[in-house]
Every structure is written in C-alpha cells, then in structure tokens.
A and B are shown apart, each in its own frame.
Chain A
C-alpha cells in the first residue's frame, strides 16, 4: 500500500510535468537544445568528466583495495585515512579544495614545487575541469575502494592457492583469476560511477562558480535553465534537456549490460 503511494507520488510529478506546460510545443524544445552550442558543449564536458572520473577513480580504488587486501600492521588505519575524504559533506570538501586550488601560493603548489613544478593556476579557464576532476576523484575513492575490498575478500582462497601450486605468478594470477572473479562488482561500480558522473552538478557549481563552455555539465545546465531569471518560461526547455540526459544514461546502461553479459562472471550462476 505504501509502495503504491510511492508510485503515485512519482506519477503525480510526471502528470504535472505535462499539465504545467500548457502550450504544446512539440519537439521544439528538443530541436532547440540540439542547436544550442552551450548545451552541446555541456554534453561533451559531461562525457569527458564522467569517463575520466570513472576510469581513473576506479583504477586508483582498485589499486588501493588490492594493497589493503594484504595483511600488514595498521591496515585498518589506512582504510580510515583513505575513507576520510568521502565523509566530509560536499560543501565543506569543496571549500577545502577551493583553498588548495586558490590562485595564491597554496599547499598544493608548494608540494608541487618540491618536484620542481612551477605554480599552477588551478582555477583558470583551461585548468578548471582538471581541478574539479581531481577533487571528485579524491572524493569517490573511499566507497569504491571499500566495495572492491569486499569483493576481493570474497574471492575463494582455494582457487588462488590452486593457481599458486600451478606456478602462476602474482601478476598473472591477478589478471587471470582475481579480475574475472570481481568482474560483477567492477561492472556495478562502472555503471554507478558513470551514471553519477553524468549527473554531476554540485561539485562543479560549488568549486568553479561560473560555468564556461569548458566546465558546464548537462545537469548544471538544466538547473540554470530551470531557475534562470525567466523562470518558468524555460522550465520546459530544461526538462527537454533533462530528458536527453536521461535517454543518454539509459542507453549507456543498456549497452553496458549487453556487453557485460559476455565478460562478467557470476560465481553463483546467472541471476
């Protein structure tokens, strides 16, 4: 009964979506969006952001998870240290990063100077996207790492031991046994990270402030259009953009699931 309430709630919001736009404009909003150069730039930015964040973030998370899967003294402390990044609320963490990235001589540039790298202007038009990426990768490592770690600990010991007896080196063992064993987790993380990245908004807005054609993302663009000075006039336009974003996400997930059927191994058989 409560779940039906839940659905009805959702449905109501969709009904209002069509009712509140009394002037039927057909595909006008959509065609408008596809000719809007800022919107097109935002698609490019979003894909770039999402892809880089997912690949680099998951790579680092997996590496750390493999490290923490070994037994050594203080293993738990390191886990907490790695996870700290993900605990602080977004507004607070972007503020810290805004300080680290600030144009004055900051901690980050000081550390870079140890390695002979001249100060970087992190917030410039060209570098802003990289800075946002560094910050969000940093924030995403904790949870991904924990999920990888749990998956790694789920890899049956007998298989790894058997391969060791067969003379399998540690790198080969990782590629041939561990990676396939955790492939379902990998797929899950890939999809959730990609989807999350495609919806990125708050971190950009909070860190960069003004969206240029190098940093504006699709979700940000939608919010801007929905709540600009014209207000409700562009609400319809904003929803058209939101639906394009949704369609892209759906298509992505579909393709991923289709492709993954070939590669992903489910230990307990197909679900």
Chain B
C-alpha cells in the first residue's frame, strides 16, 4: 500500500549534497505541478469570494475582503434547499438499494457454488464495458412504457441490480475472509444470511466505506441521468439547478455567485475525500489492479 513516511535522505556520503539538490528540485517541481493542477480549484474558491462578477476579469486580481454574501445570493437564486433535498432523495435511495444488492450478489458469487457461476460473473463484469449510450435508448423506452419519465424512478430503480464494479470489489474482499469463520458460525447455528450479516459485514467495513463514498459521488454529481429524465424544475437536482443558474438569461453570468454555487456543490465531496482518503484511494486502486 501507499507508504507516506517522509524519510529525508541523510547527508552521509560525499554525494549527499548532490542528492539534496536533486531532492529539493523534485520537491519544488512536484509542488509546482500540484499547484498548477489545483489552480482552477483554487480559482473557484477565490472567485466565489469576489464582490463583483467583473472582478474575476481584472488582472492582477485585487485582494479584497471576502464577500460571503455571494453564497447567500446563490442559495437564494438556485433555491438550494430544494435542490439538495431532491438530490439527497436520489442519493439515499441509490446508496441503500445499490449497496444492499451489491453485497448480496457479491456474497453469492464469493461463497456459493452453482452451475454457470463463472459465466454469470463474466457476464456481469462485461456489463462494465457496455457503453451507457447503448442502454440509454432502450432504458428510456422501457421507462416511458411504465410512464416513469419525469419521475425519479428511472434514476433509482436501476440500482436494484447493484453495480458491477461494487460487486467485483466486494466479492474480492469476501473471498479474502477465511472459510473457517463461516464454518464456526454455521456450527454455532448461524444460517447463510446470518453469516453474511454477523461475520462478513463487520469484516468488510473498509470496503463498505469505499462503496458508500463511490455511490454517493456517482449520484451527487451525476448530470446525464437527471438531464434525460427530469423535466420539471421543482424536481431538479443540484447538477441541473446549477446548470440552469448558468444558462438562464443574463447579459453577463454572475460568475462570482456561480463559483459560490460550485464550491457548495463540490464541498461534500471534498470533505469526504479529505476525511476518508484511505477508503477513497482504495476504491480507485482496486479498480486498477485486476
């Protein structure tokens, strides 16, 4: 795993100075890269505190007292409370369904032998390769048959099946739990579901955290799904609401307030990332090691 012991090299040899210079250059270089890449992000925060939209176009930027009123204006204009409420409905429903389903399916794939299990698993994994545009049209038609266009159902129901990526991650994890634990529990009179709930889940907390974070982020920031299925403005999610805020008629977009909206939109994700970095990194890394 990623080890972050910052061990500065000890000046011991005659080559120590050379090494030190190299290290300093590396550090400076890395910081430069980091800051350059974070620049749009920093600009978003700085811009959100400017008193006027036009201040974002004055260079060099004038240092001014932070203007927190922008946030209130953005909240007011976008009706942020409703947007957050709508988005949270989707987030909570998706997380609950998706994680329950993914855990159950992963448990099945990890612990129960049945005919065609590996074929089923391969099929499931291959759905990860399926482009969303291919399923979009038939899914839309299906939902329109059930008169579900314009409701949250098309954005919630697909979670019942779980997500291939989550199932994969969870299965790998359960497979790593020794069988002895299962057997001990079974002898103590535990049934299969009991084993999952009482034995496996407590062992899976790190991976569950990863799944929670990823399904939260996926739904919270989703734009394509809501933009296809949601029409009524009072059902808008954050993505749609913010986009609407930008494209509504202005002679010039209120950039400072837009940036404030962006900061608020991104804030939960940044907090989650900083608070649960380990779980976050694990999710990304397991997707890369196959």
Interface residues, chain A, with chain B CB atoms under 8 Å away? 1-3, 5-7, 9-10, 12-14, 16-17, 20, 64, 67-68, 70-85, 87-93, 95-100, 102, 104-107, 110, 138, 141, 143, 146-147, 149-151, 153-154, 185, 188-189, 192, 195, 198-199, 201-202, 206, 218-219, 222-223, 226-227, 235, 238-239, 242-243, 245-246, 249-250, 253
Q: Are A249 and B161 in contact (CB under 8 A)?
A: no
| Complex Cα–Cα for A77 and B277 (A) | 12
Nearest-Cβ distance from residue B286 to partner chain A, whole angstroms: 9
- Identity of the chain B residue whose Cβ is nearest the Cβ of A222 in the assembled complex: B133
Report the minimum CB–CB distance from B2 to chain A (whole Å): 6
> Could you say which of B7, B47, B120, B129 has the most chain A C-beta atoms within 10 Å of its C-beta?
B129
Complex CA–CA separation, A10 to B287 (angstroms): 23
Partner of B137, one of A147, A206, A239: A239
The answer to whether residues A73 and B8 also contact, given A9-B161, A17-B138 and a CB cut-off of 8 A, is yes
User: In angstroms, how far is the closest chain A Cβ from the Cβ of B289?
Assistant: 7
List 10 additional A-B contacts (Cβ < 8 Å) besides A16-B138, A81-B34, A107-B43. A6-B105, A6-B162, A72-B23, A89-B239, A147-B287, A199-B131, A206-B223, A223-B133, A235-B141, A245-B131
Shortest Cβ distance from B41 into A: residue: A84
Q: Give Cα distance in the complex from A154 to B289, angstroms.
A: 10
CB–CB A246/B130 < 8 A:
yes
> B residues within 8 A CB of A92?
44, 221, 242, 261-263, 265-266
Q: Does B63 contact A (CB under 8 A)?
A: no
Q: Do B265 and A189 have beta carbons less than 8 Å apart?
A: no
With known contacts A13-B135, A72-B26, A107-B59, A7–B123 Cβ distance under 8 A: yes
What number of residue pairs across chains A and B have CB atoms under 8 A from each other?
261
Q: A67-B26, A91-B242 are in contact. Are A249 and B131 (CB under 8 A)?
A: yes
A75 close to B242 (CB less than 8 A): no
Q: Note all chain A residues with C-beta closer than 8 A to B246.
A: 95, 98
Within 8 A of A (CB), among B16-30: 23, 26-27, 29-30
Whether B109 and A3, one on each chain, are in contact in the complex, defined by CB atoms closer than 8 angstroms, is yes
Interface residue B258 (Cβ < 8 Å from any Cβ of A): yes
Which of A5, A72, A102 neighbours the largest number of chain B CB atoms within 10 Å of its CB? Answer: A72
Asked if A17 contacts B221 (CB within 8 A), the reply is no
Q: A92-B266, A96-B44 are in contact. Are A6 and B161 (CB under 8 A)?
A: yes
Output the least CB separation between A198 and chain B (Å).
7
Write out the residue numbers on chain A whose beta carbons fall within 8 Å of the beta carbon of B138.
13-14, 16-17, 20, 239
Residues in chain B near residue A95, CB distance under 8 A = 242, 246, 258-259, 261-262
**B residues engaging A (CB < 8 A)?**
1-9, 23, 26-27, 29-31, 33-35, 37-41, 43-44, 47, 56-57, 59-60, 101, 104-105, 108-109, 120, 123-124, 127, 129-142, 145, 158, 160-162, 217, 220-221, 223-224, 228, 238-239, 242-243, 246, 255, 258-259, 261-263, 265-266, 269-270, 273-274, 277, 281, 284-285, 287-290
Q: In the complex, which of the residues A72, A99, A100 contacts B27, with contact meaning CB atoms closer than 8 Å?
A: A72
Q: Is the CB of B105 within 8 A of A2?
A: yes
Cβ contact within 8 Å between B26 and A141: no
Q: Report the Cα distance A14→B132, complex, angstroms.
A: 13
Contact A245 B133 (CB under 8 A): yes
Select from chain A the residue with minimum beta-carbon distance to B130: A246
Find out whether the CB atom of B4 lies under 8 angstroms from the CB atom of A75: yes
For chain A, what secondary structure do more than half of its interface residues adopt (helix, strand, loop), or is it mixed? helix
- Contact (Cβ within 8 A) B131 A5: no
Q: Which residues of B contact A243 (CB under 8 A)?
A: 134
The interface residues of chain B, by DSSP majority, are classed as helix
Query: What is the CA–CA distance of A242 and B140 in the complex, to the nearest angstrom?
Result: 14
User: A78 to chain B: which residues have CB within 8 Å?
Assistant: 30-31, 33-34
Please measure, in the bound complex, the distance between the C-alpha atom of A250 and the C-alpha atom of B60, giving whole angstroms: 50
* B38 nearest in chain A by CB position: A81
- Provide the residues of chain A in CB contact with B60, threshold 8 Å: 110
21 A/B residue pairs, CB under 8 Å, sorted by A? A2-B104, A10-B161, A14-B138, A16-B145, A71-B8, A72-B30, A74-B6, A78-B31, A81-B35, A84-B41, A87-B217, A88-B265, A95-B258, A98-B246, A104-B57, A185-B289, A188-B290, A219-B132, A226-B136, A235-B137, A242-B131
Closest 8 pairs (CB-CB, A-B): A89-B221, A147-B288, A81-B34, A6-B161, A17-B138, A92-B262, A78-B34, A88-B266
Q: How far is the CB of B89 from chain A (nearest CB, A)?
A: 17
* From B30, B124, B139, residue with most partner A Cβ within 10 Å: B30
Instruction: Determine if A87 and B266 form an interchain contact, defined as CB atoms under 8 angstroms apart.
Output: yes
Residues of B within 8 A of A250 (CB): 129
Closest to A4 in B: B120
From B135, B265, B287, give the contact of A89 (CB < 8 A). B265
Residues of A contacting B23 with CB < 8 Å? 70, 72
Question: Which residue in B133, B258, B284 is a CB contact (below 8 Å) of A242?
Answer: B133
Smallest CB separation, B248 vs chain A (Å): 13
A150 to B223, CA, bound (A): 30
